[in-house]
Structure 1
């Protein structure tokens, strides 16, 4: 089978396609024939910033058909379609997935739908829940055209937000985020992000944290769920009695699996009703993994970027 690895840190140019044997599932594992692979900013950053020992594989969101089941696995069978987070060779023709991380894909959904909806949707929904939203509150989403951000916009509307503001890097993304249901669109460079909001869902971090805090109304809450780092001044929180909340999906997965499963069910129900629809910016062959990373690094995507083994 083919897989993508890297032997030095850097940009998309360091990614290499290589041939290797098809793995066998161990205890608690499923072997998938991958149909869709999600490309995410955290994975792209790991390649550039050198966070893993070399040589390294690329994990991430995968969806496909189960072709083998490891020992001690119950509840799954060969031939079923599932999606989940792969911690090993995710950019590959075949991927190993821990059964605890697997989620069935409904018959009416494609593999691309599953990869675009489930992981990013869980992050977006979890971040929104972390803000403890009340009916009718206003919400601003940074990175609103991205993989999780474009779902956060839709989820806020579906959950009853009174006003949803989409913050994006370029005016070229304005029509896209409006098509998702955003009531207003602001650019990161704008001097003001408009009327203050009750909640900011921040998928970007870094230098955007200061204007994001400034965009909050008194008593407002910012939920930070990006890997972009950044610093918040305590005084900026103090003067408006504002709050900053960190959200990490891995903690929910490890400590509250029932909650994660409830969120999964809600996402599929919203998908089935048409109230939340994942959007795919590009579907590229596995051999074009470097091009997929270029799109993500440039923040050029409007929706999810997906790799397709072919």
Structure 2
């Protein structure tokens, strides 16, 4: 019988080579598998012969340290892992069905945070008035905020943009999304202006082939910004507002919600966000409904009654 660690290595390699998952996604799977490994080692369980009772025991053992959403994600990881083991001939149908049929815990899906255009302008002004920042850092940070807001990019997508991916003549950026799928993201003329002024400071505009493989967003030493760098600067600037969440995803959510409130169909928004299925996009209908109800309250003669 192969050791758990050996199957884990093969499984993670399978996710990379066969599924084409990003490093971030693979690390998420790895964390879930490692948490499960601690449990089976402590309980001295044969991981090839688990059932629903053992999964319930695992859920109970981690319930105090993680919420239902996190456990649901780990459970999804285990289903994929055990399906991999089944395909490798390591487990039979009975064990696989025990894992697949274990019910996911229910949790309340949060409605995405929605920023108005006025709030975005406040953030841009805050950055511009920050005397601790150099002019180039101000333009870089403003470009990042605007690109998230007008393109709906994910954090990893924005971090990975290279100069060769940008087409200023069409206001588009080629991005590689989840599952290594490529799509074109659009940005508006204001974002274009921020980006060009930022690149001129870097002396990288007009774009030339010798710079094509350079990352778009760099620090003052010309080193690529990390996920943490970008996450931190976005959260720092959004925290001046009253919001439910402050990360880059709040800006991505705002992009989608503005489109929906302007009459853009869910199918088109799904494509622009790089969602694989419509269910991921439908959460924005809740935001739009809330906006509609607010409008009725303010505008309809019976709205406040």
TM-score w.r.t. the length of structure 1 is 0.27
Select the structure that is richer in strand: 1
TM-score w.r.t. the length of structure 2 is 0.27
